Amino acid sequence: MSTYDLALKRRSIRRFKNIPIPYEILERCVNAARLTPSGANLQPLEYVIIDDEQLLPEIFSMIRWAGYIRPAGNPPAGHQPMAYIVGLIKKGTKYEASSYFEAGLAAENIILVALEEGVGSCRVSTHDNDRLRELLNIPEDYNIMLTLALGYPDESPIVEEYKGSVKYWKDEDNVLHVPKRELKEILHRNKF
């Protein structure tokens, strides 16, 4: 599948199969993230891969899922992520102001490499970064920039035409529908 096709296929997944992800796939994801562009080639991001079955439920308990449809968007028992990748940046790094941009580039590389391997993902926010920091032994001089939940998909969200609202929803069959704006609405050529 081409990169373009992968990008079009990508959906946030919040329901996963209870199948472990081989560590080699997770490592490939981080290796792809390692090679993303960074200001002055400083390469400030570092990563923690979490696939330990004792840690997974603890991290899961810290996450807010699918705000528009909470709690219906929460992965049910037996369908929770099988791994997480946490991206970090050392505080005080030159170009720290662009660190969210760099984390976004790295996240997309992780997401696309995972998808190529059949692994779904969801960028998530934690309730308590201090608790996550403590659980993962992250030094105080690092900021948590991103958390990605990963697993083999056990759902197939559907892209819907945008009709004035970005709010996603689940139908009576528990299928997630996600409105997206059309290309002609967001694309400008040469001038606005």
Summarize the confidence of residues 99-104 as an average pLDDT: 89
At 114, is the secondary structure helix, strand, or coil? helix
Edge-first strand listing for the sheet containing 45-50: 45-50, 83-90, 142-151, 120-126, 63-64
What's the pTM? Answer: 0.94
CATH superfamily of 3-156: NADH Oxidase (3.40.109.10)
Question: What average pLDDT does this structure show over 23-50?
Answer: 94
Ramachandran assignment for 87, one of left (phi > 0), alpha (psi -120 to 50 degrees), beta (any other)? beta
First-to-last alpha carbon distance for the chain, in angstroms, is: 33
What 3-state DSSP class applies to 190? Answer: coil
* C-alpha dist (Å) from residue 97 to 39, 91, 100: 10, 10, 7
Q: DSSP letter string over 22-83?
A: PHHHHHHHHHHHHTS--GGG---EEEEEE--TTTHHHHHTTEE--GGGTTTTSPPTTSS-SE
Lowest average pLDDT, out of 20-34, 37-51, 150-164, goes to 37-51
Domain boundaries, the chain: 3-156, 160-192
Residue 72 clears pLDDT 90, i.e. is over it: no
% pLDDT > 70, the chain = 99
Reported as a single tens digit per residue, the pLDDT across 123-139 is 998 778 999 999 999 99
Place 38 in a pLDDT band, splitting at 50, 70 and 90: confident
Which residue, among 155, 154, 158, 164, has the nearest Cα to 185 in the 3D structure?
Answer: 164
Cross-strand partners of 153 = 16
Pairing mode, if any, of strands 176-180 and 158-161? parallel
Q: How far is CA 146 from CA 19, 44, 82, 94, in A?
A: 23, 13, 17, 19
Rounded to an integer, the average pLDDT of 102-126 is: 95
Q: Which residue has the higher pLDDT, 99 or 15?
A: 15
CB contact set of 40 (below 8 Å; sequence gap of 6+): 94, 95
What letters, b where the CB count within 10 A reaches 16 and e where it falls short, cover 100-120?
Answer: eebbeebbbbbbbbbbbbebb
User: Residue 98's pLDDT is what?
Assistant: 81
Is 42 a residue whose pLDDT tops 90?
no
Looking at every residue in the chain, the average pLDDT score rounds to 94
Q: What is the mean pLDDT of residues 34-39?
A: 92
